Amino acid sequence: MNLIVDIGNTLLKLAVFDRGRLVAQRSAERLHPALLGELLDAYPVRQAIVASTRGEADEVLELLGPRVERCLEFTSQTPVPIANDYLTPETLGRDRLAAAVGAATLYPGRNVLIVDFGTALTIDLVTADNTFRGGVISPGMHTRFRSLHDYTARLPLCCATADEELLGRTTEEAISRGVMHSLTFEIEGHIARMREKIDDLQVIFTGGDAKCFVKRIKNTIFANCNLVFTGLDRILEYNASEEPHN
């Protein structure tokens, strides 16, 4: 079994995979030894991978070292089972590359557009020739709500709404609908433009806030909130196997 540790901008997420199948997952703001011990006591984990976008990897690796046979830190130098066309791979977020590997694993030989709803909204492309082609980054849903509150004198902190009315008649409605619609129109625009350029484009929504937009986007999409986990598990297996590395 494999332990996956994904340290994101907001949460630290853990998952246990058994031969490619997700069998357990947890999340916390920081990794507590008791939480790690609970998973390792419950599942016969042999190897682990740690990916981080905010630091803390060394602390987690130190905790894991005595408990697993093999522990891999996912860095920009780690071999992955897809080609990477990004011009600055050292600055590419580990979560973005892991999601790309996950997409290539689940949809081999397909052109896949990955929309990841996190602290940042990222939209990335993996082409059918198994290559990460890059993408775009903009503020995520909660970041947009927070910025309107933090960088103005009087605007309230609002939250997601399922209401699809276009106009708000109170300030709270105007903010909630404005943020939700701005994300919806942005994503729909990217999908439409990409489908003009690329045939047979598969679109995947992932990330914590994907559930807020699955019904809003008027396109054929699939939701997979465990795409990064799937990619990290594949990367771990790739580095532990005899497969030829790039």
Q: Look at residue 55 and tell me if it is in a domain.
A: yes
Per-residue pLDDT, 36 = 86
Note whether 93 and 183 are same-domain residues: yes
**Domains in the chain, number:** 2
Note whether 40 and 96 are same-domain residues: no
Contact 125, 135 (CB under 8 A): yes
Note whether 38 and 147 are same-domain residues: no
Q: Look at residue 132 and tell me if it is in a domain.
A: yes
Does residue 82 register a pLDDT over 90? yes
Q: Of 225, 220, 195, nearest to 207 (Cα)?
A: 225
pTM of the model: 0.91
Does residue 244 register a pLDDT over 80? no
pLDDT bucket at 65, cuts 50 / 70 / 90 = confident
CATH of the domain at 51: 3.30.420.40
Beta-bridge partners for 113: 125, 203
Q: Look at residue 79 and tell me if it is in a domain.
A: no
Residue with tokens 């780690």: 78
Q: Look at residue 33 and tell me if it is in a domain.
A: yes
Which burial class, exposed, middle or buried, applies to 241 when counting CB atoms under 10 A from its CB (0-12, 13-18, 19+)?
exposed
Per-residue pLDDT, 37 = 87
Q: Of 111, 116, 71, nearest to 194 (Cα)?
A: 111
pLDDT mean over 165-187: 97
33-42 and 57-64 helices cross at what angle (nearest 10)?
Answer: 40
Domain range for 116 is: 84-246
Question: How far apart (Å, rounded) are the C-alpha atoms in residues 87 and 133?
Answer: 10
Q: Out of 18, 58, 85, 95, pick the active-site residue.
A: 95
Q: Name the domain boundary from 73, 103, 126.
A: 73
Per-residue pLDDT, 242 = 64
Note whether 37 and 112 are same-domain residues: no
What are the structure tokens assigned to 90, written together?
Answer: 């050292």
Q: Look at residue 78 and tell me if it is in a domain.
A: no
What are the structure tokens assigned to 70, written together?
Answer: 């093999």
Does residue 119 register a pLDDT over 80? yes
Per-residue pLDDT, 66 = 86
Identify whether 6 is a catalytic site residue: no
Per-residue model confidence as pLDDT tens digits over 1-54: 999 999 887 788 999 999 999 999 998 888 788 888 889 999 999 999 999 887
Residue 86 is classified by DSSP as: -
Note whether 96 and 130 are same-domain residues: yes
pLDDT bucket at 243, cuts 50 / 70 / 90 = low
Q: Look at residue 11 and tell me if it is in a domain.
A: yes
Angle ∠(51,138,22) on CA atoms, nearest 5: 35
Q: Name the domain boundary from 30, 50, 73.
A: 73
- Mean pLDDT, the chain, rounded, equals 92
Q: Name the domain boundary from 43, 73, 103.
A: 73
